[in-house]
Amino acid sequence: MDTMVYKCVQHLQTLLFPSVCRLCGAASGRVPGLCMPCLADAPWITTACPCCGRALPAAHDAQFCGRCQRHPPAFDATTALFHYRPPIDYLVKRMKFSGELTLAPVLASLLAARLRTRAAALPGLLIPVPLHRTRLRERGFNQATELARRLGRELNISTGLRCCQRHRNTQPQSLLPATARRINLRNAFSVRNIPRARHVAIVDDVMTTGHTSNELARVLKQSGVEQVEVWVIARTG
Ligand SMILES: [Zn+2]
Ligand SMILES: [Zn+2]
């Protein structure tokens, strides 16, 4: 099928049958967009470092991982829902590169459900990781903004869309060797409007090395924010 036609059909399907599973096509039940068996099989992160969100062995006592103990990042906590593995990576790529924006509320609702159960106070503002304006023009949307909007709506938190900007069109981190990634991001972000909230969460689709979140958290803290969390759908490593 022609890609355009396929996209239209799929968009119509989600409009007409919002409870169809986006992975297997079965009736999805209570959670919109994904059925219970697909959710049960998803690569959930169960035990993780509370600071960076990296998965840890189940027996770990919820202390910071070795890396965070040695080099504490600029952010204070991370919530990552899934390992960045099939089939979650497939959903994220479809949202990001095929422009299937209807997947953003599906993924954000799952993250919101996790966050609603926690005892700790929620942040006062959500800040999507900004895209450089050139990339935003190419893609037509920022997936982090789409996720943050939905999370904000579900958790009743405002979204700071104009807080931060990315002024260097950095190369995608995934294309660079590890040593170049940190340099690539240096001075990539700035705070345009100082957030009123003292406690904020950076929102992104995927966290890889954590350098992007770290750099954004660093400038946010420089601007006076006291507590910075990172909320992502999936985490590598
Ligand atoms: Zn399914
Ligand atoms: Zn850690």
Tell me how far the alpha carbon of residue 36 lies from the centroid of ligand 1, in angstroms. Answer: 7
Spatial distance between the Cα atoms of 202 and 220, rounded to a whole number of angstroms: 10
Whether residue 5 has pLDDT greater than 90: no
Ligand 2 ion: residues within 5 Å (CB): 49, 51-52, 65, 68
- Which of 112, 60, 100, 74 lies closest to 233, judged by CA? 112
Dump pLDDT digits (tens) for 27-61. 876 567 888 899 999 999 999 999 999 998 877 67
Amino acid, single-letter form, for residue 23: L
Alpha helix ranges (H) inside the chain: 3-16, 36-41, 66-70, 88-97, 103-116, 133-139, 143-155, 178-185, 211-222
**Higher pLDDT, residue 11 or 42:** 42
Whether residue 12 has pLDDT greater than 60: no
What single string gives the DSSP state of each residue in 84-105?
S-TTHHHHHHHHHHS--TTHHH
Q: Of the ligands numbered here, which is closest to the C-alpha atom of 73? A: 2
Supply the pLDDT for residue 231: 98
Domain 43-235 of CATH type 3.30.70: no
Tell me how far the alpha carbon of residue 118 lies from the centroid of ligand 1, in angstroms. Answer: 27
Q: Of the ligands numbered here, which is closest to the C-alpha atom of 38? A: 1
Mean pLDDT of the chain: 87
Whether residue 137 has pLDDT greater than 60: yes
- Which of 15, 100, 53 lies closest to 217, judged by CA? 53
Residue ranges, CATH 3.40.50, the chain: 43-235
Spatial distance between the Cα atoms of 214 and 209, rounded to a whole number of angstroms: 9
Residue 162 pLDDT class (50, 70, 90 cuts): confident
Supply the pLDDT for residue 25: 87
Q: Of the ligands numbered here, which is closest to the C-alpha atom of 72? A: 2
Q: What is the percent of the chain where pLDDT is above 90?
A: 62
Dump pLDDT digits (tens) for 168-207. 766 666 666 666 666 666 778 999 888 889 999 999 999 9
